[in-house]
Amino acid sequence: MQPFNFQVNLKGIIDLLSNHLYSDPGVFVRELLQNGVDAITARKRLGQAFDGEVKVEVFSSHSISITDNGSGLTEEEIEQFLARIGSSTKREEQDAADDYIGQFGVGLLACFVVSEEIALVTRSAKDGQALEWRGKPDGTYTIKKLEREVSVGTTVYLKAKADYEEYFEYYRLSGLIEKYGQYLPIPILLIEDGYEQTMTVPTPPWRMSGEEAMAFVEEAVYTKPLDIIPLESRLGGARGIAYVLPYGVSLQDEKRHRVYLKNMLLSDKMTNILPPWAFFVNAIINTDSLRPTASREAFQENELFYTVRDELGECIKRYLIELADSNAELFERIVMIHYASLKTMAVEDDELYALFIRHFRFETSYGEMKLADIVREHSSILVAATLDEFRQVARVAKAQNLMVVNGGYVHDLDLMRNLPSVLEQVTVQVLNSLEFASRFEELSVVEQREARPFLDLSDELLGGYDCRSLIRWFEPADIPVLYNTNQDMHFFRMAEESEREANALFAEVVRTIRDDMYEKPHARLCYNYNNPLVRKAIESGDAELKKASIELFYTQALLLGNHVLGAKELEMMNRSLLRFMNMGFDAPEVRS
């Protein structure tokens, strides 16, 4: 036998396969199963009647054989498939029929990753000549005609090379065959010492009923899913199931969808076969039409791929829409478990927003409420942009029958501002906390005249704190004063603090940005004319008492609004408290 050479750099190809193309050396099992199934498919296309099967037999000394009763190879086909790697005639055949899974030549080379030699014995269903082909990683191969009787089909013999023996042990092979080929339509048999085990199962998950799929997933992942969603893409020839995860997951968590190509596992950790927003499900999908990459561990991301992904996504959306009506309790559980991530995706996806927004819960001036309840009772909604602004007005807003939503939590402001796009009868306005007090009832002309000296004194005392005063009627009466500020005020205070603590150059930069880009805002201190203490302070003829009252009202309002008191505010609060204590101790009834 004269040795021949492969018409490629075989060592380079093997390095590419082992180090770059395939993620696991065990993928050679998948490649051999694919070759066997494809050969059986090819023989059936010749019109021959037979029962196809693939047998994997384990021998001692870490050797195995893989036998199929498919079409076999002629000497010419051996040259085409094995000497000219990558030029398989199945490429042309695939244009006419999509029955084949892989490419014989490239797939067989995966065996060189785990074996020093490949021996192949074959007999074609066309000419009946038995042939033996042997190939080595150094790029040489031989072809020999055999005199002995050989059944139609192909047998591949492999012996493990050093460090790869475990892949030739019965239990490792069993796991690999089950992983890649348990749903193949051709029986796969595993044999050792006369013991024969059928590795294929009759019903794949994508052909199971909902109850069967639920039980299958629970057994496979040791967790019972919330529900099963049937998936189908007619254009892409894809069918499958998506199971709703019973625990919360992060959007950044790696997705692990199991994807099959013509019933052969392509990947058990594909991340992009479903749209990014479908983070709350894992999927098991089989497709006949998508084209694999060279490694056959992912799909080519062409126009058909994205069409299929969108179709599968539509299946999930339709399921959720129907579930909201048919099983509100389960729908609420899904929302509750995946709440944070659903909010994130609803901000980016208009359809998801329309589907979920009514079921999201928000902190409001009336307590925590579901949006469906909010809009049922209020058609006009104010949204506080920050938690601080919400806290400033929440209690007072409820007393005025105003619905204020806290938009200070992640995404809540954007979610609320987009509400009129799906509920046209609802108006949403971002709260301007500095103008909030203007919603309250104004005083009469006489009352304003009486209160004017008090307000002038307040402005004089608080001018150094960038605060201006006004007075209104509002509920509840037990709140004497309301302090309102906004983000511009916070910026100016941080800028002033940075200016004081920074070096001269940086302080000048801060001052320039602050003064050139912004008009300096002022906080609002709104006195409640409905409060008895405020009335008494206004009517008092004691100038020192009025001054102490204003200082105490101001610092109390800061505390009630959860504002941080600076050194000057703390000094003011202590000074006014001590003044009132002294006044109390100096009162006649105390002295007596």
Q: What is the pLDDT of residue 97?
A: 43
pTM of the model: 0.74
In a domain, 279, yes or no: yes
Residue 288 marked as a ligand binder: no
In a domain, 384, yes or no: yes
Contact 472, 443 (CB under 8 A): yes
Q: Domain boundary residue among 410, 431, 452? A: 431
Domain that holds residue 371: 360-431
Q: What is the pLDDT of residue 466?
A: 83
Q: Using CA atoms, how far apart are residues 106 and 200, in angstroms rounded to an integer?
A: 25
Any idea what the CATH number is for the domain that residue 48 is in? 3.30.565.10
Quick one: 548 and 451 in the same domain?
Answer: yes
Residue 154 marked as a ligand binder: yes
Q: What does the block give as tokens for 439?
A: 């919603």
Q: What is the pLDDT of residue 496?
A: 52
Residue 155 neighbours by CB under 8 Å, 6+ apart: 65, 66, 67, 68, 120, 121, 122
Q: Using CA atoms, how far apart are residues 333 and 392, in angstroms rounded to an integer?
A: 33
Quick one: 375 and 448 in the same domain?
Answer: no
Q: Using CA atoms, how far apart are residues 368 and 395, in angstroms rounded to an integer?
A: 13
Cβ-based neighbour number of residue 233 at 10 Å: 23
Residues of the chain with pLDDT below 70 are: 1-23, 82-107, 486-521, 586-592
Instruction: Identify any residues that bridge with 195 across adjacent strands, giving them in sequence order.
Output: 192
Quick one: 22 and 133 in the same domain?
Answer: yes
Residue 98 marked as a ligand binder: no
Quick one: 111 and 213 in the same domain?
Answer: no
Residues 391-415 pLDDT 10s: 888 888 998 899 999 999 989 999 9
Residue burial 406-434, b: 16+ Cβ < 10 Å; e: rest: bbbeebbbebbebbeeebeebebeebebb
In a domain, 567, yes or no: yes
Domain count, the chain: 4
Instruction: Identify any residues that bridge with 430 across adjacent strands, giving them in sequence order.
Output: 383
Quick one: 43 and 186 in the same domain?
Answer: yes
Q: What is the pLDDT of residue 520?
A: 61
Quick one: 171 and 210 in the same domain?
Answer: no
Quick one: 426 and 451 in the same domain?
Answer: no
Q: Using CA atoms, how far apart are residues 574 and 246, in angstroms rounded to an integer?
A: 54
Quick one: 184 and 223 in the same domain?
Answer: no
In a domain, 338, yes or no: no
Residue 31 marked as a ligand binder: yes
Q: Domain boundary residue among 153, 182, 198? A: 198
Residues 10-37 pLDDT 10s: 555 555 554 545 567 888 999 899 989 9
In a domain, 31, yes or no: yes
Q: Domain boundary residue among 165, 198, 231? A: 198
